[in-house]
Chains A and B, each alone.
Chain A
Amino acid sequence: MTQDERQNFFKGMAFLSPWIVGFAVFTAIPIGLSLYYSFCDYSLTVERRAPLWIGLDNYRQLIHDTLFWKSLANTLYYAAMALPAGLLVSLGLALMLNANIRGQSVYRTIIFLPSLVPAIASAMVWLWMYNTQFGLFNYLLGKLHLPPVGWLGERMAMPSLALMSVWGVGNTVIIYLAGLQDVPRELLEAAEIDGAGPWRRMFSVTLPFLTPVIFFNLVMGIIGTFSVFTVPYIMTQGGPNNATYFFTYFNYDEAFKFLHMGYASAIAWIQLVITLALTAIAFWTAKKWVHYG
């Protein structure tokens, strides 16, 4: 390394240092500590109650914890509904918004608006829409002479939350719309000249070109569904009978309500491993259905 290169290197590091320090203090060290705490009994109180090393005890206890399995099953069940629903609805909306129609920008704004509403505010609104006696949905069912539904009851609560998640797909729609701009127009025109109809053009040209965007949204969706917290916290408090007790909610309770920081750290690491595993599966399957270029 010449003197100039060395000088440049140190200058570069000096400019980078605020980020490096921030990353180390607020991300890397806490992540490392949480891994250590996951092998400890630790309560985040006074200094003299230092973390007590207990090896794999927290992980062993997790295996026997019925709420761990319940919250994991709930989260997977939610992901199985919310993820495909979100991907399909946002893709459908993006395709519609991409069409050359009058008032396109107005529709785009309307679709995007719900994403700007804070999660707590939208949860409160949906809570009333799902209200058994006075809610909008049961009012509409009543107009159709159908019996009212307990939207947040034990059986319906999870599908209701999944349905609600579709409301905030504006961000995903925007990403799809950006992806749609990259579909080569000449290919679409060539397909049209060859006699391909709109559906054929969509399935044979548009969708294959969109697969990298779909894949990106899938991965982000996997991460997102495993971090769901605010909506069930506000709307159902995990009930009834733990029907909407999500993995992150379980983690929150253990950490901040029951003060089991060590146990909560173990839960967080399991959550990371599961998310990584699902993402890895997505990457593995991507070879077969994602087309770049």
Chain B
Amino acid sequence: MKIIRPLIFTILGIIVAVFLVLGSHQKNLVVRPGVTVVEYWEKWTGPEEAQMQVIVDDFNNTVGRDKGIYVHYMSMTDIDQKTLISIAAGVPPDVAGTWDTQIAQYAALGAVEPLDDLAAAHGINEDYYLPVYWRGCHYDGHLYALVSTPGVVALLYNKQLFAACAAQLRAAGLDPDTPPKTLKEFDRYAEVFDEKSPDGQLRRMGYLPMQSWYVPQLSFWFGGDIFDPVRRRLTLDSPATLHAYQWIQSYSKRLGGQSLLNFQNSLGNIFDSPQNPFLTGNLVMEQQGPWMANYIHHLKPSMSQVLCPTSEEWKLPDRRANYAWGVAPFPSAVPGLENVSYNPFDALMIPAGARHKKEAFEFIAYVNRQDVAEKLCTMHCKNCQLRHVSDAFLKHHPNPYIAVFQELAASPNAKCVPVCPIWPEVYKELIDTGQAVTLGEDPATAVRLAQQRMQERYNRFLTMERRRESLGIN
């Protein structure tokens, strides 16, 4: 007995020591002497992470090797918060792959480096970029980010369900072979597809406004805007925004607010799943981006190979015929206002305090080289942020409608995220407003209150900035 106890403790001690030694063992990054290691944090996980890894490897094996730069790529969740904390701690990465929504917020707080000079030195300017993305990368006249992959929001519709409901559509005076062109027409299409189960619950909807990821940006399709940076004023109570929320409410007035929310609740939060309502046919039309083609192909392949397997669709006269879904510009409420689009994007920024800015920008510039951008956007199934794209990009892209998306991004009516430093707050407020009007609140009152609350917050931000400026702590 005297031996057993010390023996057990010795064994336990050895196990703990082994775990500590192995646990603390990090894979050392071996680079040639004189090579600068650029730390790159990115938000993507899964296939998108692996696809970016291809680009990073390409860089390390070509430009990076020639210029003595090695990009160390790390994927992580909650990248916005981790980046911010690392900036505060003084140990940020050299490149942070965040979202467009963070650019103005971080730039206003001095958390990211301006890139004007570095971009100019690499010949990246507004002639090279699509204007909408170029605008979105700026805050207060300075460039703070470049795009890694862009997006465009368009109308996705289920061609099979259009065909299945052809008789009803024709009876309503609508063409089942073409998507709606105006918002009024869109509403009439949507109404035809609405279907209730015997217990009165909605089973299928033509369109569900609150299901859209882009409710806060809806006023773009009504000819409005959300933020006026020149007058430093939010415009949440503009006639266009009011009209947008009245439009949202028209759906709940027709079908019942609670009924709509019940339907939305029944769909669950299942975008990346075969139960996605667009794939199950519970939702016939929606606002989505070009990446949806990848999800459809992986989650419901039958919708992407109606006539033949995808690998053989190049033989078809029109490869779009192989798809059970179609894409068109989301119709505008304003006559004559065409090709309206919202263009969100993934951004690459250099956090304040980064140790290797010049080398970090070499990588950012590489990602924005036309051939590299096209390669990454093809893998991610997205459009391209550049003005000029090759014919091969349009022809061999996994999304057969990529030309529609590319055209929408190039449209003069293409809009980017409002370059408002308090955008995350405004975004939440507009989502809340959408839910409130869906549940019956008067849209005029709702947008007035939203405007009042957000303008107060923005004014407070401006006051604090002025005080900081006067004290020299901005």
Question: A131-B266, A242-B432 given as contacts; is B468 within 8 A of A52 (CB)?
Answer: yes
Q: In the complex, how many angstroms separate the beta carbon of B357 from the nearest chain A beta carbon?
A: 14
Cα of A242 to Cα of B435 in the assembled complex, Å: 9
- Residues of A with C-beta under 8 A to B266: 131-134
List the A side residues contacting B467 at CB < 8 Å.
Answer: 41, 52
Compute how far the CA of A54 lies from the CA of B200 in the bound complex, rounded to whole angstroms.
Answer: 55
Q: Could you tell me the dominant secondary structure of chain B's interface residues? A: helix
A150 contacts B88, C-beta separation under 8 Å: no
B428 at the interface (CB under 8 A from A): yes
A153 to B435, alpha carbons, bound, how many Å? 11
**Cα A127 to Cα B267 with chains together (Å):** 11
- Evaluate whether A44 and B436 lie within 8 angstroms (CB atoms) in the complex, with A132-B265, A154-B258 already known: no
Contact B265 A257, beta carbon cutoff 8 Å: no
The reply to whether B201 and A241 form a contact with Cβ atoms under 8 Å apart is: no
Task: Kindly state whether residue A46 has any CB partner on chain B within 8 Å.
Answer: yes
Quick check: B81 and A128 within 8 Å, CB to CB? no
Knowing A45-B88, A45-B111, A259-B84 touch, does A153 contact B261 (C-beta < 8 A)? yes
Bound state CA distance, A253 and B106, in angstroms? 16
Q: Which of B200, B268, B353, B424 contacts A258 (CB 8 A)?
A: B424
CA distance A242 to B432 in the complex (A): 7
Choice from A48, A128, A153, A253 contacting B268 with Cβ under 8 Å: A128
B residues near A52, Cβ cutoff 8 Å: 464, 467-468, 471, 473
> Does residue A232 face the partner (Cβ distance < 8 Å to B)?
no
Tell me if A293 is interfacial: C-beta within 8 Å of chain B: no
Q: Is B263 located at the chain interface by the 8 A CB criterion?
A: yes
Return chain B residues, CB-CB under 8 Å to A152. 265
Q: From residue B189, how far is it (CB to closest CB) to chain A in Å?
A: 23
User: How distant is the Cα of A256 from the Cα of B79 in the complex, in angstroms?
Assistant: 12
CB-CB under 8 A from B106, the residues of chain A are 45
Q: A45-B109, A131-B266, A150-B265 are in contact. Are A239 and B435 (CB under 8 A)?
A: yes
Q: How far is the CA of A180 from the CA of B260 in the complex (A)?
A: 49
Contact B262 A132 (CB under 8 A): yes
Residue numbers in B under 8 Å from A132 (CB-CB): 201, 262-263, 265-266
Given the complex of chains A and B, what is the CA–CA distance between A54 and B466 in angstroms? Answer: 13
Chain A residue, CB-CB nearest to B88: A44
Contact of A241 among B81, B203, B439 (CB under 8 A): B439
Residue ID in chain B nearest A255 by CB atoms? B81
Name the A residues within 8 Å of B439 (CB-CB). 154, 240-241
A234 CA to B216 CA, complexed, in Å: 21
Q: Is B460 an interface residue (CB 8 A)?
A: yes
Q: Does B160 contact A (CB under 8 A)?
A: no
Q: Which residues 146-164 in A have Cβ within 8 Å of B in the complex?
A: 147-148, 150-154
**A257 & B435 in contact (Cβ 8 Å cutoff):** no
Closest to B468 in A: A52
A49 within 8 A of B: yes
B residues less than 8 Å from A270 (CB atoms):
none
Residues on the A chain within 8 Å of B268, using CB = 127-128, 131
Residues of A within 8 A of B81 (CB): 256
CB of B229 within 8 Å of the partner chain: no
From residue B440, how far is it (CB to closest CB) to chain A in Å?
10
Q: Is the CB of B258 within 8 A of A153?
A: yes
Rounded to whole angstroms, the CA-CA distance of A207 and B435 in the bound complex is 46
B455 to chain A, nearest CB (A): 14
A240–B111 CB distance below 8 A:
no
Chain A proximity of B112: nearest CB distance (Å): 9
- How long is the Cα–Cα vector from A241 to B433 in the complex, in angstroms? 8
B274 interfacial by beta-carbon distance below 8 Å: no
Which of A150, A241, A259 contacts B109, CB < 8 Å?
Answer: A259
Cβ-neighbour of B261 out of A61, A128, A154 (below 8 A): A154
Interface string of A103-141 (1 = CB under 8 A from B): 000000000000000000000000110111110000000
Q: How far is the CA of A256 from the CA of B109 in the complex (A)?
A: 14
- CB-contact partner of A49 in B265, B432, B473, under 8 A: B473
Q: Is A71 an interface residue (CB 8 A)?
A: no
A49 touches B109 (CB 8 A): yes
Q: Mark B410-451, 1 if CB is under 8 A from A, else 0.
A: 000000000000101100100110011011000000000000
For the complex of A and B, 3 pairs with smallest distance between CB atoms: A133-B266, A150-B262, A45-B111
- A sample of 20 more A-B contacts (CB under 8 A), given A66-B453, A257-B424, is A45-B106, A45-B111, A46-B352, A48-B473, A52-B464, A52-B467, A52-B471, A54-B464, A128-B268, A130-B265, A131-B266, A132-B263, A150-B262, A154-B258, A154-B261, A239-B432, A240-B439, A241-B432, A241-B435, A241-B436
Give me 10 A-to-B residue pairs in the complex whose CB atoms sit less than 8 angstroms apart, sorted by A's number. Answer: A43-B109, A45-B87, A45-B88, A45-B110, A45-B352, A47-B90, A134-B266, A142-B199, A153-B265, A241-B436
